[in-house]
Structures are given as C-alpha cells and as structure tokens.
Structure 1
Amino acid sequence: MKRFAALLVVALLLLTACTADPPDDGEAYPWPDQAPGERWRPPPGVGWQWQLTGRLDLSVQAPVYDVDGFTTTKEQVAALKKAGRKTICYLSTGAWEDFRPDADDFPKTMIGKGNGWEGERWLDIRRLTELEPLMAKRFDMCRDKGFDAVEPDNMDGYRNTSGFPLTAEDQLRYNRLIAKLAHDRGLAVGLKNDLDQIPELVGEFDFAVNEQCAQYRECEKLTPFVEAGKAVFHVEYELSVDRFCARSRELGLSSLQKRYDLDAWRRACR
C-alpha cells in the first residue's frame, strides 16, 4: 500500500511536469516557493539541460541547467536565475583534472590511473583529511557563484581500475562526505552513477544523475530516487530518443539524448 501511494505521488508530479507550458525565453519558470535557508529539491520528471563544453547557450527551454562550475561565470548563473532556471554546478570530485586551476593543489601520490577521459585520473578517495579542504574550496566556489546544487562526478572509483585498492566502504564514506560538504553550504547534491550504492545513499542525496542506464538496462535501479520524490537526470549517447523515452516516462526519469562532448545540442523526451 505504501509503495502504491508513493507511485501515485510520482505520477501526479510527472503529470504536472508534462502538462505545464514551458516558459518563454526569459520568462521565470514557476517553481514552488522555497523557504529561506531551505535547499532546492528537484522533483521527478522536471526538464533539464546538460552542457559542459562550448559557448554556454542560455536560451534552451529547460527549467534546470547543469553546467561546468569552473567555466560558468557568476553573471551567467545570475542570468539563468533571473529567468527562473535552477542551476547545477558540475565538478569532478572523484578524479583529478590537469586542466583545472587548482590541479597543482593535489598531491601527486593521490593521483592514480586514467579514467578514460583526456587529462583525467582517479583520486585516492581514502585520503579524506587531504581531500576535504580541496573539495570544500570548490563547493565554496559553487555557492559563491549562486548555484543551487552540485553534480559531483566520478563517484564510483571503487568499481574501476583506479590504481588504488578502493572498497565499497571507502566509496560510501567519501560520497557521504561530498553530500555533507554540499548541504553545509545550502546546496542540493546529486549522486552520479554509482548505481549499486543507491540503497545506502538515496537518503543523503537530493537527486541522481545517470549516464546510459537504458543502454545497459539498469534504469530500474534508480527507482528509489523517484519513489522518494527526487529527480533522476538521465542521458543516453548511443541510443536515439525513440529507443528509451517511453520507458523513461514510465520510470519517471528526466531523460535526454546528448553527444559525448556535452555541448548545447540535446533531444529531450517529451
């Protein structure tokens, strides 16, 4: 009975999200009132845009923008906020990037093997004492630019060949620290991928961000977020929208088709 009630709530949230007219360019999106000091909590089915490369396109008709925390300016965040958009600050918290301005602040012994992306290598997330101030500084940047939330990337190093003997417990400890750092600054925080630890972490994260769960037939693992009234921001790269949107709607996901470079191009599930 409780499961049915939860699904009914999700269905009503999705109906509202799907039937509401999208705001015109520059028109404020009709978000519910938020009490002072209360952090943002995105509901299931809300539309979004994810852009990490290229000139930022502020005209996309999406109520949520997930953009690079370092390259997006305070003025761009303010422009999105004025238009009623909510903003998510993308950061890599589990991998070192050689192109970031704080790259030299990370001890070399903390930097492991490459994660498959140019200039990126896994971090030894067991070293919480050293990592906490580095990540806190980044989260301060997101807060000071006016972001509503953080998307911490590379949150599943223990499932990869990182160069360190990371365990599931190491990952849980680190991911919980990341959630606390965000919440201490009034920011919402998303769990990126890390599907196997959703049961342990869904209560501590405000939304989820997932790549390619449809391609790998894993989207059902994200159901705990939707049942908790929390958004799942989802992208596919190799599947066209006609291959996954119907199932995404059934599951309550906020789904896009994107290119791997994550420029402004998108196709949204309707």
Structure 2
Amino acid sequence: MKDIRFFLLFVMVTVTLIGCGGSDEQTQTDDEVVIAPPQGFPPPLSTWQWQLKGSVNDEYDVFVYDIDLFVNSPEIISDLQTQGRFVVCYFSAGTYEPYRPDSELFIDEDFGNALEVFDQERWLNTRSEHVREIMKSRMQLAKEKGCDAVEPDNMDAHINDNGLGLSAEDTIDYSIFIAEYAKGLDLYVGMKNNVGLTDELAQYYDFAINESCYRFSECHLLAPFYENNKAVFHVEYLSVADVGDGKLDEVCAQTKSLGISTLVLPVLLDDAYRFSCDD
C-alpha cells in the first residue's frame, strides 16, 4: 500500500479480488483486524476507462481511469480520486510528439525515424541520457499532479523501423529504467503492449495495458501478468457494427476467462463510444 487511501481503495475492490481467485488473509489482534495487502494492485479484473482525447467523462462506474498526463489538471485527477478512482496518467516515453509542452527540450540527436502511422511523431533514442532526463521530468510531473500510476507508451522501438539501431536489449534496459524511476517516485507503473518481452519485464511492472491482443492472437503472451495476480487492461478497436454483430461476445469469451479487463473503444480514444465485457 502506498498510503491510507490505497488501503481504502483495496477495501472497495476486495470483491473483485475474490471474484478472480484472490484472497483476503486476515490476522486479528485484541483491538484490530489487519487486512493483508493484495498481491497485485490495481487488482485483476478491475473495471476501467481509457480516454485520451476530450474532456474526461467521469460518469462511468469503474475503478481505474487512464487519462492523458499533460492535458488534465491536478483538479481533474483529484476529483476522480475523490470519487474513489485509481488514476493512471498516460505519456509517450518512446516517441517525440511536437505538440507537447516540453517538446522544445528535445535535440536533433534524440530523433530517429518518423512513426509509420503517426508521421508527426519520431522515435526517440532511449539510450540517451538527455531523453531519460526528460522522461524523469514527465514522471515527476505525474507525481506532482497526483497521479496514482503512469502508462509509458511506445516502448517497443526495437520491433519498428526506428532509425536508431535500437535493439530488444535496449528496450529492456529502458523499460527497467522507466519502471524503477516511477516506483522511486511512489507511482505504480503499467507495461504498455511490448508483449514479446513480457517474460523479461513483467517482474518490474505492476500491471499491463494492451491494444488488440485478441486481434493479433497475443493475449496468452500476457500470462506472466494474469497468472501472477497482476491486472491486464485490454482494448480492442472494433466498430459499433462489429459489436452489434457479436464480435464483442467473442472477444469477452476469451479475455475474461484469462482474467483480462477488456473494453471496445474507438481508435481516437475520445469517448465516442464504449463497450465493456463487464456490462
């Protein structure tokens, strides 16, 4: 537990732990009952919402909210927490985004190739101490804003045409650096995608966030998380028509049995629609 608030949050989600096979071991003294902390936090099969665009819709009855670090104020984060939410703050740890408020801090030597899909973004040289100092500042910002956890994105340069010669070993080294620094700030940290390195990295991360593991037949690669009582938050990008045709039921049948919390969302993550395996 990080502080007394997480003790209260744990009590709120105890039923979730019981539902997915967790236990609430208790030891009792003459004056009090001590509840043992969960093995994984946030707990497996926690309900969640992921919104990175637009004003945050706080009306979903879920435990975890994953929102953008830069565009959301400390007040928004505090309001979510007052409602009993666990707040994860998103930032890109592996790419340059020109529209971020700290983008002018990067230098030419930091940049690799443009991303294949988002051509305004560039892969970053994650071996660079300069890049790592900027990422430390981003995680410090998350701490200052009151985030409970961070979601460092784009940590898989080694499987992309990064233009920097970044290898799997570089990714592992950088991922461990990010995780350890976040934990040093008393933040929880989630592994984003990067399923090919789950065996190497799961021990350093508190939970996982995944895009499209069902589509790419990769959900089983997240076993080092869900088999060790660590939450996996997963999204499939299906259309409303796909959901109406029964695709959501197919996805949920597989992922929920594994202990994975699945949403169907639009690619823009703008809350245009939302379907959940918990509905």
Matched-pair contact (CA < 8 Å) for 1:93–1:153:
yes
Matched-pair contact (CA < 8 Å) for 2:149–2:188:
yes
Query: Superposed, which structure 2 residues align to 1:1-270 within 5 Å?
Result: 13=17, 15=19, 41-115=41-115, 116-127=117-128, 129-238=129-238, 240=243, 241-264=248-271, 265-270=273-278
User: Unaligned regions of 5+ residues in structure 2, if any?
Assistant: 1-15, 22-33
Deviation at 1:267, TM superposition (A): 0.6
What residue in structure 1 maps to residue 4 of structure 2?
Answer: none
What residue in structure 2 maps to residue 28 of structure 1?
Answer: none
Residues 233-254 of structure 1: CA deviation (Å, up to 9, x unaligned): 1000036312300111111001
Task: Rate the CA distance shift 1:16–1:247 in 2: closer, same or farther, 3 A.
Answer: closer
Deviation at 1:44, TM superposition (A): 1.1
- In the alignment, residue 13 of structure 1 is paired with which amino acid? L
Higher RCO (C-alpha under 8 Å, 6+ residues apart) = 1
- In the alignment, residue 221 of structure 1 is paired with which amino acid? L
How many pairs were matched up? 242
Matched-pair contact (CA < 8 Å) for 1:99–1:119:
no
Task: Rate the CA distance shift 1:34–1:190 in 2: closer, same or farther, 3 A.
Answer: farther
Distance 1:177 1:14 in 2: 33
Deviation at 1:132, TM superposition (A): 2.1
Task: Rate the CA distance shift 1:206–1:144 in 2: closer, same or farther, 3 A.
Answer: same
Matched-pair contact (CA < 8 Å) for 1:14–1:44:
no
SS in 1 for 2:203: coil
Q: Which has the larger radius of gyration?
A: 2
Please identify, of 204-213 and 115-124, the stretch whose mean Cα deviation from structure 2 is larger: 115-124
User: Unaligned regions of 5+ residues in structure 1, if any?
Assistant: 1-11, 18-31
Residues 94-144 of structure 1: CA deviation (Å, up to 9, x unaligned): 0110000110101112112222225311111121x2122101111111111
| C-alpha RMSD of matched pairs (Å) | 2.2
TM-score (norm 1): 0.85
Matched-pair contact (CA < 8 Å) for 2:110–2:131:
no
What residue in structure 2 maps to residue 25 of structure 1?
Answer: none
Distance 1:146 1:234 in 2: 24
SS in 2 for 1:249: helix
TM-score (norm 2): 0.82
